[in-house]
Structure 1
Amino acid sequence: MTALNTDTRLNDRYAPPGTVDALLVDDDETWARTQRRVLERHYDAVSVSTTHTLQDALYALETGSPDCLICDYQLGDGTGLELLEAIRRDHPKLPFVLVTGQGDESVASAAIREHVTDYVRKDELASQPDLLATRVASVVEAYRTEQALERERRSKEALRRLVTASTTRQELGQGVCQHFVDEHRYAFAWIGVLNRNGAVVPFATAGDDSYLEAVLEPGTKPDDGAEPAVTSLACGDTVVESPIDPVGETPVSVDAESRIEDAKLGPDSSEEIDGDQSGAQWRHAALEHGIGSAMAVPIEHNGVHFGVLAVYNDEVSFDGQARELLSEYAETIGYAFQATEWRRALFSSAITPLEITVADEFSALVALSRKLTRTATIEVETVIPRNDDEVLYLASISGASANSLEDAGEAVVSVRSLEVYETGDPVRCGLIVETPVPETVLVEVGSRFRRTVVADGQMRIFASVQATEAVRPVIDRLEDAFADASVTAVWSDHSHPEDTDGGGLERLTDRQRQVLELALDAGYFERPRRHNTGELAAMLDISRATFTQHLRAAQSKVFEDLISE
């Protein structure tokens, strides 16, 4: 009874997760059989195969993928060191435990030079029969942990490349799905979203999509069935089916279960939704297509839901790291979707872009620039009217220190306040200046402001108009307000056609749009968040509650149209 308890504690403490395939190499067949029984007694999930020569061991490694090699020093056709040297050429990190009866320190030194993982003497095993088992468990666990960390590093680097290289949501979504299929060997991966009618539709897919064609009928709503991705869209929670049970007895997360019921049976619902039949249908379809497990994670950021990321495996389990990785990808996709789509929507190109220079010293930004060094550059992408007499510039100033910027702001009469939000290079700040300013003049005559750059005492404003005929009124109005204003370049850009319906932006009020632009450019949606709602509300001279109300309304309008598209 005592021995049984000892074995149980040993198994709990040392056994690495998952099955362990070990290859035991020893020319003494009796000793090999004995150690095989010892190892398998201590590990419920261990599988030990044996060979008795160096050449047989090399062949076994070519035809299989053991998690660990256990090798005696003396072999009939060579030594364990020779086998170790041969293996290290192609498998530099594979766990290798050398067992010898000699106890010669020179053997240990030679083994260490060849990067042996561990070293055990046979005379030690006589007094400690579980020693080899514990050593194998330790090296396999360390090896798997190192592999997992390396996979995580590669995955994060791949995700970073995808986010930075993708120019559209579609490109990013497709790249992520393909990454899960190519690098993580999932059978199928997809991103699902809701269309304008509230039906689930594929946004991006990779792998064998025949399963999706079998289970996702046109017009499928989130509450129409228990398929993991569809359910995740309904409940807003991670859903895992591992393994997939054809009769539907595999539980999902507790939170997901309760939320599914809330999604299916709301307070106004008077009908029971029969999920058993639809659940059985998707499970049978999954098994018919060789899928053993499924996992779906909502794609969201800052409370805005974009869709769901789902992966399907031909194996029957997902470990904790796989779940964490999928959640991290979904979170990053949500952040990238939000940043990409909002910037595209807020700063979409018109038919005729303009570049306008303003050298009038009565322009606040020009006057500020002339108080700084000649190498300083002021960049502004957001200009928000604060009241009838003031506007708020959100600016980045490179080539100047925060102290010199504050001194310059105090010296310019038209700059009423200057607040530095981030020091360094560039310095990020909020400037409240007197009106008129060129940017608001442009908007008054129907232009769309895009960006302002001030360097060496000269202001360059990038804007756009609906048609070339609108350029002349812009020039006239600016020349009336600023004597030295002139249009220095006009060109057509057909690579980004004008969005004729404007998405959800057309339904925004002026204040909602201002709040949205400020939140975007002031870093409210970045990680880590650079400003909170109280700080942003103060910039606009409104209450925090009012700011939050406008921001939520703007989010709802914009993403309702963007997601439905």
Structure 2
Amino acid sequence: MSGDGPLEILLIEDNPGDARLIEEMLSGVEELNRRLGSDTSNGESPVVHHETRLEDGLAYLDSPDADVTLSTDGSDATLPAGPASEPESESVSKSASASESASASESASTAPINVVLLDLNLPDSAGLETLTAVLESDATAPVIVLTGLQDSDAGIEAISRGAQEYLVKDEVTSPMLVRTIAHAIKRHEQLIERERRREELEALNRLNRIGQEITRDAITTSSREALEQAVCDRLADDDAYRFVWIGDVTPGSPQVVPRAAAGVEDGYLDEITITDDDGEHGSGPTALAIETEEIQVVRNIERDSSYEPWRESAQERSFRSSAAIPILHDNVRYGILNVYSSRPHAFTEYEQTLLGRLGDVIGHAIAALERKDALLSDAVLELEFRVEGAIEPLVEATARESAEVSIEQFIRSGDRILAYGSAEGIAHEELGSAIDRTDDLEEFRVLTPGRNEYDFELTKTGDIELFETVASRGGRVKSARIDDGTFRLVIELSQQSETARVIETVESVCPGANYAAQRTVNRSSPSIPSPGLLETKLTDRQYEALETAYLSGFFEWPRTSTGEEVAERLDISPATFTQHLRAAEEKFFDSVFSATEATEDGE
């Protein structure tokens, strides 16, 4: 029983004398509170809500707040924890006293019912069908049957149908009634707890199995489209879920567009409109999941006021509860997974946790597919951005016509970025000074001789969110160019990437970035130089040293010949062998990577 108020009892009894007697029996509270383990009701008597017809009793139970059974420790014993559904705009309640006016009854808020005392024979219903009607309603409170008949068979049948107890009114005493109510509430709570644990176990087994299947799908499928469809198919194949779809906001538009679906759709996605703006269609769980990046649950579609724009379409397809799960990885959203059930209150707190983890698994799998596409595809996308308001001292230093700074390679090392590039038309002292005056750039070092044309290395520290975000999308920051007072950045992505979303993300994490151009280029693998080309680039001694080292297993692991052994075979000192080998390796790799750069420059 909640510590916030007295015990709430719904008495459905058409005999005024019997109803008055029941109320008198419940006028004392100490014994009932003691049995329920509650001393926080401040001595308040139980509130008895009296109805004389089954129809009115069911209407009361069907009101939004009356189907909550509170446990003796003050917790919600029947409804799963999670985002609370908004109640209906107004709920009609019955007053505890029959003398109160109808208007006051309509304006009062309905109290949660803890137990139902039910007479089987009413003006509009008779016998065990009365009990069946109450049990088949959405009520979750325990039911105690009251009857004027001494019929043990009827009592056994009532309990087998779901009643907590069967009492003959002529035999009921106040201690018996108090004891029966206390036991009924406690047994009902225990039943609900067992059911909750059973559902949690079933959800764990079910979602773990689905998660394993989706993980296998991520390994075997070759595209994001195939993976998203497989996810929908897996979830919709489970009896617990009626319909599943994945979608996301269209870049440049507030509308959420489906990409994959499975289950009982029947034109649902064609009928509805979902947005993530402040309009009528942007108030539901999908929009909230996009905004908060947290799972959102509608526990009862019929009663949740936020579901009004889609309620009729959902009810036509027997959707009674839903969950919107963001698909995330490394703070990047890849979509929203929407799951519908034919049962109200279907998504328990535990199941929400498992579905949230499933969203993370899907996000990780999509990110892995994008990275795989980026690595294996010869054709890639290059997005060029013009960046304003960044590295201004460096931009100003290249404002004159002949000055140019290019960075051809970025290498992430821990929480910093190593940048390798070249400069021309600007003295290295001037460039070094500009870098010193630029935030987050440091450790400038000239790598090759030359005053106005040279290669250099520098380090970027501080904010590297742009690099992390692009990498999470399966891409990389390829190069940067600073000339004529303009800073341009090039990002490389796989052709399967969502270009519009990447552009939006880059402009978000780098506020001064403005999308300028897009192009498709062929990314050739490093070319392996032919033996003839090697012979023309290497001296005889270098070629001999490289070939002998290779054939003797010097490059194997573990080595089958040491450097000293190879040098002995060549009749040279180990130091001379090392010198020849290093020179040969440098020329070899120069041939490989110079050929690659020449191929890209020629495209």
Question: Please, what TM-score do these two structures have when normalized by structure 1?
Answer: 0.41
Question: Please, what TM-score do these two structures have when normalized by structure 2?
Answer: 0.39
Name the one with the larger helix percent. Answer: 1
Larger Rg: 2
